[in-house]
Amino acid sequence: MNIAVFLRAIVSILWVAVIGLIVVAAMRASRGRKVGPISTVILVLVISAVLLTIVSAGLVFIQPEERGVVISAIAPKGYREQALQPGLRWIVPFLENVVTYPISRQTYTMSIIPAEGQVIGDDSISARTADGQEVLIDSSVIYSIDPEQVIKVHIEWQSRYVNELVRPLARGIIRDAISQYGIQQVYSTERSALTQSISDTMRQKMTENGLKLQDFVLRNITFSPEYAASVEQKQIAEQLAQQAKFVVEQRKQEAEQARQVAQGQADAAVIRSKGDANARLIQAEAESQALQLIAKALQDNQDLLTYNYINKIAPGVQVMLLPNNVPYLLPLPTLGPPAPESSLAVPTPVPTPLPSPTTTP
């Protein structure tokens, strides 16, 4: 609890009681009654109220987020050179008083949106770029009073430091910084550099005036309707160009894919043709070797072909009729004694040649 406030409350109650008792005493005296006991009480309360008033006037409680500047009628400069630190402090009653200043962070916002900043309505900063384009800047300045410079702020600015220092300083620095950049740099490539430039300049100026810049926020940049329309058209054109480029790349990829497929099919056809040719060569070589083996077998045993021929004849055939003027396809074995069992020749019935046709006179 703030003891100074508590004492002031008690002093107020005592003075109210004193006034009430004086009224009661006056009423009793008007009626001819005794006021001796009441007068004693009034005297005690008055003495107590005066003492507590003096004590409470000399006690000051400084909050942790504050610093106090002592205005003194007995100090050579009219103020104490050291600011009061947080806690319960004593000053000379009725000869000194304290002005407190916050040292916590404060935010001053200037915005185009009504009721968003400290000023009601459109409070954005109008500035012109290096190429003459008008822009509207929304920004926030986060700052605090330097605890070591509280007395300096009080002497030079008092409570006017917000409206007469922070606001005009920020607006002027922002306008100067914007004028150093072109319109395209402001909203694209150099926005970070612009913000850093404003922060550095503002930090230096605030330090010179007893304030500390904690952060600067470039909230929004609004262009004129004409330039905004041109930027939108440019972006649309760029998007269309990007889309066309994407389509071209897609067509190139499809053509490359088709070429690779065709190349793969051609390579597959070549490989398949080579495989077929190799297969034919292998088959031809196999057939050649088979014919060589057959020829060798026939050379070693001439009756083998006749044997195979006879085996191909149907088993029920007993007689074959052949023209008498056509040679036999295969040599037939001659009639004779049966061949031994080990012989490959198998006796077969001798076909009877047909008689030649005759002419009857």
State the CATH number of the domain containing residue 207: 3.30.479.30
Cα 349 to the center of its chain, rounded Å: 104
Around Cβ 220, how many Cβ atoms within 10 Å? Answer: 13
Over 70: is that where the pLDDT of 336 sits? no
Give residue 343's pLDDT: 43
Together in a domain, 116 and 185: yes
Together in a domain, 41 and 124: no
Together in a domain, 121 and 217: yes
Q: How confident is the model at residue 196 (pLDDT cuts 50, 70, 90)?
A: very high
Least confidently predicted of 177-191, 228-242, 258-272: 228-242
Q: Is residue 246 part of a domain?
A: no
Together in a domain, 162 and 148: yes
Query: In this predicted model, which residue has the larger pLDDT, 27 or 36?
Result: 27
Nearest to 84 by CA among 70, 73, 71: 70
Query: In this predicted model, which residue has the larger pLDDT, 288 or 201?
Result: 201
Answer with the one of 75, 102, 129 that is the final residue of a domain. 102
Which DSSP symbol is given to 163? Answer: I
Together in a domain, 86 and 164: no
The whole-number average pLDDT for the span 303-316 is 67
Over 60: is that where the pLDDT of 141 sits? yes
- Is 153 in contact with 207 (CB distance < 8 Å)? no
Which residues are 135's β-sheet partners? 127, 223
Over 50: is that where the pLDDT of 360 sits? no
CA angle 67, 73, 79 (to 5 degrees): 35
Query: What's the structural domain count of the chain?
Result: 2
- Is 314 in contact with 289 (CB distance < 8 Å)? no
Give residue 55's pLDDT: 87
Q: Is residue 171 part of a domain?
A: yes
Structure tokens at 258: 């088709």
Structure tokens at 53: 């008033």
Together in a domain, 117 and 178: yes
Answer with the one of 223, 249, 274 that is the final residue of a domain. 223
Least confidently predicted of 140-149, 288-297, 309-318, 333-342: 333-342
Q: Which residue has the tokens 């070589």?
A: 285
Structure tokens at 197: 């430039």
How far apart are alpha carbons 323 and 61 in whole angstroms?
A: 150
Q: What is the mean pLDDT of the chain?
A: 82
Q: Is residue 80 part of a domain?
A: yes
Most confident among 121-125, 145-149, 253-257 (mean pLDDT): 145-149
Together in a domain, 111 and 200: yes
Which residues are 60's β-sheet partners? 89
How far apart are alpha carbons 16 and 22 in whole angstroms?
A: 10
The number of residues in the chain equals 361
Q: How confident is the model at residue 357 (pLDDT cuts 50, 70, 90)?
A: very low
Answer with the one of 198, 223, 248 that is the final residue of a domain. 223
Domain that holds residue 84: 3-102
Q: Which residue has the tokens 């490539």?
A: 189
Q: Is residue 329 part of a domain?
A: no
Give residue 315's pLDDT: 66
Give residue 324's pLDDT: 64
Together in a domain, 82 and 158: no
How far apart are alpha carbons 156 and 175 in whole angstroms?
A: 25
Give residue 320's pLDDT: 61
Nearest to 213 by CA among 109, 140, 107, 142: 142
Give residue 248's pLDDT: 87
- Is 346 in contact with 307 (CB distance < 8 Å)? yes
Residues ≥6 apart with Cβ < 8 Å to 211: 143, 144, 145, 146, 149, 153, 161, 165, 166
What's the predicted TM-score (pTM) here? 0.59
Give residue 356's pLDDT: 44
Least confidently predicted of 149-153, 178-182, 188-192, 236-240: 236-240
Q: Could you report the per-residue pLDDT of 240-265, keeping only the tens digit for each?
A: 888 888 888 888 888 888 888 888 88
How would you classify the pairing of strands 125-128 and 211-223?
unpaired
Least confidently predicted of 68-77, 105-114, 210-219, 326-335: 326-335
Nearest to 210 by CA among 158, 139, 141: 158
Together in a domain, 219 and 110: yes
Around Cβ 135, how many Cβ atoms within 10 Å? Answer: 20
Over 70: is that where the pLDDT of 323 sits? no
How far apart are alpha carbons 262 and 264 in whole angstroms?
A: 5
Together in a domain, 113 and 210: yes
Give residue 322's pLDDT: 60
**SS3 at position 42:** helix
Over 60: is that where the pLDDT of 361 sits? no
Together in a domain, 178 and 213: yes
Together in a domain, 97 and 126: no
